[in-house]
Amino acid sequence: MKLHVHNTLTKRKEEFAPLDPANVRMYVCGPTVYDFAHIGNARPVVVFDTLYRVLKRLYPGAVTYARNITDIDDKIIARALASKRTIDDITQETTRAYHEDMGAIGALRPDHEPRCTQTVPEMVAMIAKLVASGHAYAAEGHVMFNVPAFADYGRLSGRSRDDQIAGARVEVAPYKKDAADFVLWKPSTPEQPGWESPWGRGRPGWHIECSAMSEKLFGPTFDIHGGGQDLIFPHHENEIAQSVCAHDGVQFVKYWLHNGFVIVNGEKMSKSLGNFYTVRDLRGKAPGEAIRLLLLKTHYRAPLDFTDDGLKQAKGDLDRFYTALKNASDVTPSAAKADKVFDALLDDLNTAKAIAEMHEYASVLNAPRSPDAKAALLDAGALLGLAQGDPLAWFQSDAEGPSAADIEAAIQARLDARKAKNFAEADRIRDDLKAKGVILEDGPKGTTWKRG
């Protein structure tokens, strides 16, 4: 089978044909580093991490994945002022936390992680091109993109002229020639971060940042641009406009992919509703791998309803995978591949079907403990970023409950009690551990434990 993806630009599923099979390029919009990543931020990371794994299987050694860090933004400036900390302190601390949280949910690091602060000269150069070609204009220290000068504006989002203006989310300003025009460069006060430019000291607008960073890495045209559905308009629409116009009409991106929204318990996630979950919060409730699995159980383009029950079920599914691997610890896997899982992922990342097939491999591995089934289960996990850890360690790790050292001490005390023929004490220790969520399993090689 060939990889097929749903292209937001054409509104249909298409066969993926890279511009250059020896140089497959994917760019995904990354975080604005002023706060911890929430579960909505995590969804595109997991979705495009899975696509990255599939592409690497299809085009070994030929895939380059970039995900940016937005470290120039008014939200960062506001956070620095409110907290009386430096911008560098905030962005560095938040970036470290982001890497930790995304690593915990099994995301591979991208090949490149460009930062806005390292790409300002390229942004200034691109803006200068747009001004020179008449696609942008300077006014009162700002540089604005001239939307009416780009006839294809609105093609990605499918928005009408009225919808474009209503959804532009830009302030009405006397220096704008058209209500839909958007900012490429804006002036900075002495207290705000700024860079010198032909239009005075200032800083870039949000949209030009990704256009410049992707061009610096990939050139004017590349294969895949991804992000959340909320970025289609205005961010990605604006990226297309400025990138195409800066390169005399050359195509910017061939395939645009967008994941659906995340809601929580059927409602929009909101701090005021008390249902706003950061990945860091959720890591206190369940392993990061369970968070990842829950995000994969719904097709990436559909809305995802995140619930505590769903997270518990995802943990249970992983328990099943790891149990099958633990029980087959003495089985040497063959060279078999997870062909059914791979085929499902080739069909526009049908992760729900892929996970169902993974359960089938686990069932076969449970009986008759087939080397092919073990190999397929492990390969499926590699494609989905699941079940790659040590099975024993999986069952012995948890966010809550007694520590591993305390459990091992209790097991030794139980062993001592049994040697002394104090079976009542041995049973008490076993029952006490069970009440704390720890299950003991006696076998010919001794006593092992797992969290139930």
Note the pLDDT tens digit of each residue in 90-123.
999 999 999 999 999 999 999 999 999 999 999 9
Q: Is it the case that residue 388 has pLDDT exceeding 70? A: yes
Q: Residue range 408-416: average pLDDT?
A: 84
Residue-level pLDDT at 448: 79
pLDDT cut 90: percent of the chain above it: 81
Average pLDDT over residues 75-85: 96
Percent with pLDDT over 70 in the chain = 97
Reported confidence tier of residue 132, pLDDT bands at 50, 70, 90: very high
pLDDT of residue 166: 66
Residue-wise pLDDT tens digits, 256-268: 999 999 999 999 9
**Whether pLDDT at 321 is above 60:** yes
Same fold, 4-259 and 263-395: no
Q: Is the pLDDT score of 403 beyond 80?
A: no
Fold observed for domain 263-395:
Four Helix Bundle (Hemerythrin (Met), subunit A) (1.20.120)
Is residue 435's pLDDT more than 90?
no
Q: What is the pLDDT of residue 406?
A: 80
What are the tens digits of pLDDT across the range 28-69? 999 999 999 999 999 999 999 999 999 999 999 999 999 999
Q: Quick: pLDDT tens for 201-213.
A: 999 999 999 999 9
Query: Residues 170-191: what's their mean pLDDT?
Result: 88
- Which position has the higher pLDDT, 164 or 203? 203
Residue 398 has pLDDT above 70, yes or no: no
Domain ranges of the chain: 4-259, 263-395, 401-451
**Residue 400, pLDDT score:** 65
The arithmetic mean of pLDDT across residues 336-360, rounded, is 98
What local confidence, expressed as pLDDT, does residue 447 receive? Answer: 85
pLDDT at 415: 84
> What pLDDT, on the 0 to 100 scale, is given for residue 171?
57
Choose the CATH number for 4-259 among 3.40.50.280, 3.40.50.2300, 3.40.30.10, 3.40.50.620. 3.40.50.620
Of residues 301 and 273, the one with the higher pLDDT is 301
Q: What is the pLDDT of residues 215-248, one digit of tens each?
A: 999 999 999 999 999 999 999 999 999 999 999 9
Confidence check: pLDDT of 309 > 90: yes
Question: Average model confidence (pLDDT) for the chain?
Answer: 94
Q: Annotate the chain with three-state secondary structure.
A: CCCEEEECCCCEEEECCCCCCCCEEEEECCCECCCCCEHHHHHHHHHHHHHHHHHHHHCCCCEEEEECEECCCHHHHHHHHHHCCCHHHHHHHHHHHHHHHHHHCCCCCCCECCEHHHCHHHHHHHHHHHHHCCCEEEECCEEEECHHHCCCCCCCCCCCHHHHHHHCCCCCCCCCCCCCCEEEEEECCCCCCCECCCCCCEEECHHHHHHHHHHHHHCCCEEEEEEEHHHHHHHHHHHHHHHHHHCCCCCCEEEEEEECCEEECCEECCHHHCCCCEHHHHHCCCCHHHHHHHHHCCCCCCCEEECHHHHHHHHHHHHHHHHHHHHCCCCCCCCCCCHHHHHHHHECCCHHHHHHHHHHHHHHHHCCCCHHHHHHHHHHHHHHCCCCCCHHHHHHCCCCCCCHHHHHHHHHHHHHHHHCCCHHHHHHHHHHHHHCCEEEEEECCEEEEEEC
Q: How confident is the model at residue 273 (pLDDT cuts 50, 70, 90)?
A: confident
pLDDT in the model for residue 407: 83
